[in-house]
Structure 1
Amino acid sequence: MAAALTLLLIASLLQGALCGELKASMPQTVEVLRGSCVTIPCSFEMKDGYESDLDNIYDPPRPTLTPSALKVKEGTSVSLTCSAPAPCLSHPPTLTWTPDLGQSVETLQENQDKTKVQTSVVTFTASKNHHGETISCTATYNKQDGSTESAVTTSLTADISYSPKRTTVSVRPSGPVPEGSDVTLTCSSTANPAVESYTWYRADGAQETVVGTGAVLNIKASKDNSSFFCKTENIIGAGRSNLSQIDVQCKDHI
């Protein structure tokens, strides 16, 4: 009975909004089993030219993302769920993920209050490439006449923590340098959170000797001191650069 009264109220409101140009109808009686659910059919007619007024009454609701925030470590398996109301069962909303994160699974579910919702679940492995990326779910509603409603979108920004990547060393000056001259080595790396420590090593065959810390290392060019690399660390892990060889010219050859 409450559902019928609600539908009658909605029809009355629509008629008032459209100045009597809408005619709604439903069964006079409905036989149901006490304690069970019931679907009460309702239909309406309107004069040509008033469809735009009805469009203004309904703007589609935004989809919901679960979780609403994404903050995980690289390598974590992530499942995102996008949900959008499906008021018209014959025309459920189309859910689209941006960017393409892989195959998604869509289902039409029923809430406890018997309303329907379209859901899409996408599962992927978080990587550093996802860090800072905007992940969006767009719900597109189609009308019964085949035309498309304005799409609505909900987004989140991925925060992916990862160990240092692309650790490199730059040497200044870059060309051949005279023995005994000043040389500056700079270590750089991408990481989230940021690199916490830089450690410099001199390589002598299989032996590796710590020669300094910090992102910048200043040394004197020497034939016996010409091969270096750096290690970077954050709370997630560590990275290591390739071996950098300084081209040192002996004084007696200059």
Structure 2
Amino acid sequence: MKEEIKLFGFLLLLLMFNVNIPQKINVLRGSCVNIPCSFDVDNTHDKNLDNSCKAYWSDSSSFTSENAKLKPTKEMTGDLTKKDCTTTFNNTRLLQSAKYYFRLECNNPLKFSFTQAGVDISLIAAPPSPTLTPSTLEVEEGASVSLTCSSPAPCWSHPPALTWSPNLGQSQETLQENQDKTKVKTSVMNFNASHLHHGNKISCTAVYQKQDGIPDVTAETSLTPDISYSPKNVTVSVSPSGPVPENRNVTLTCSSNANPAVENYTWYSADGNQDTFIGTGMDLSIKVSKDRRILFCKAGNEIGVGRSSSIQIEVQCKYHILHLFNIFSIHI
């Protein structure tokens, strides 16, 4: 019966005295860290929250102000009279990877260690890679794209600087607060998808400043966009090239860039304002004639159709030797 009474009393105490702190914070060595913290006390102790109150932190759940590992000054701590125990450590060399607990002590009966919850501090040598949202990009050309890059900001006064490469459009940075009161730096870049972006890496880099004289450290995340687009740069090549004797066969080849791949090629002869269909396929074999037709091709996929410039095959003229002699004689 006594044990049940003790347990009930302990649970009642937890209801009257509670602390809200993050479960875990990754801290970059050589930088600062902010531990968001708020607490509540039994309302009978509200009058004891005065300027004499001090904050203490320790990696032991059993500690007092005398054996506390960390004794923040007022400049490092939030307004304890308003139940704000947010603490800033500018020198993380005072910290070690451990679970830390908060204790409140005032020059009055209000003294309490909030050991029901602690924050896991993990000292890391390199920052985590930024998070890209979405993590993959598959859109059609012309679509409006919004990419978000986010990186944790354990040191609120020196959040990471986020940069895009390449910078494809306007970007906006904000320092946002998570549900557990920790903060994250975000950058949103907006642009319109182009076929020029297809297959070219887009990366976001986070640059963290350190306070111990060590050079800045960076972390990067990237994605490779898959942009669907209609055929571009449709061109026609002729083999053999150059002036071709009349009645000689030549091969025309239509080529282009497209995603997805070209599904069909069609060939046309242009006569004034009228286009005449003459064949299909990437390659077209025709016999050269002196009528010097104007030709072009079209390439199509599920997105659309692209058209080449018009070409005219140069015909090599044949002159009989006697005919050339007669012309020469006339001019003499």
TM-score (norm 1): 0.81
Paired residue for 2:248?
A: 181
Paired residue for 1:69?
A: 136
Give the letter aligned to residue 117 of structure 1: V
Overall identity of the aligned pairs, in %: 58
Distance 2:261 2:299 in 1: 10
- Distance change >3 Å, CA 146–CA 103, structure 1 → 2: farther
The answer to whether the 8 A contact 1:81-1:121 is kept is yes
Paired residue for 2:179?
A: 112
Residue number among 61, 65, 87 corresponding to 1:41 in the alignment: 87
Paired residue for 2:59?
A: 12
Question: What do residues 170-225 of structure 1 show as CA deviations (whole Å, max 9, x unaligned)?
Answer: 01111111111111000011111111110001122222111110100001111236
Give the letter aligned to residue 73 of structure 1: E
- Please state how far the C-alpha of 1:103 moved relative to its aligned partner: 2.6
- Please state how far the C-alpha of 1:252 moved relative to its aligned partner: 5.3
Unaligned runs of 5+ in 2: 1-17, 24-34, 36-54, 61-67, 98-121, 322-332
Distance 1:86 1:184 in 2: 63
- Distance change >3 Å, CA 130–CA 4, structure 1 → 2: closer
Unaligned runs of 5+ in 1: 14-21
Give the letter aligned to residue 128 of structure 2: P
The answer to whether the 8 A contact 2:154-2:183 is kept is yes
Paired residue for 2:287?
A: 220
Residue number among 67, 70, 77 corresponding to 1:24 in the alignment: 70
Question: What do residues 141-191 of structure 1 show as CA deviations (whole Å, max 9, x unaligned)?
Answer: 112346444201111101111111111100111111111111100001111
How many positions carry a matched residue from both structures?
Answer: 237
Paired residue for 1:161?
A: 228
1:190 equivalent to 2:257? Answer yes
The answer to whether the 8 A contact 1:163-1:192 is kept is yes
The answer to whether the 8 A contact 1:25-1:43 is kept is no
Kindly report the root-mean-square deviation, in angstroms, between the aligned alpha carbons of the 2 structures: 3.2
Paired residue for 1:18?
A: none
Distance 2:236 2:230 in 1: 17
Paired residue for 1:57?
A: 123
Residue number among 86, 99, 112 corresponding to 2:153 in the alignment: 86
Paired residue for 2:196?
A: 129
Paired residue for 2:266?
A: 199
Paired residue for 1:17?
A: none
- Please state how far the C-alpha of 1:31 moved relative to its aligned partner: 4.7
- Distance change >3 Å, CA 5–CA 170, structure 1 → 2: closer
Question: What do residues 90-130 of structure 1 show as CA deviations (whole Å, max 9, x unaligned)?
Answer: 11111011112233111111111211111111111111111
TM-score (norm 2): 0.63
Give the letter aligned to residue 156 of structure 1: L
What is the DSSP-based 3-state SS (H/G/I as helix, E as strand, rest coil) of the residue aligned with 1:60?
coil
What is the DSSP-based 3-state SS (H/G/I as helix, E as strand, rest coil) of the residue aligned with 1:100?
coil
- Please state how far the C-alpha of 1:245 moved relative to its aligned partner: 0.4
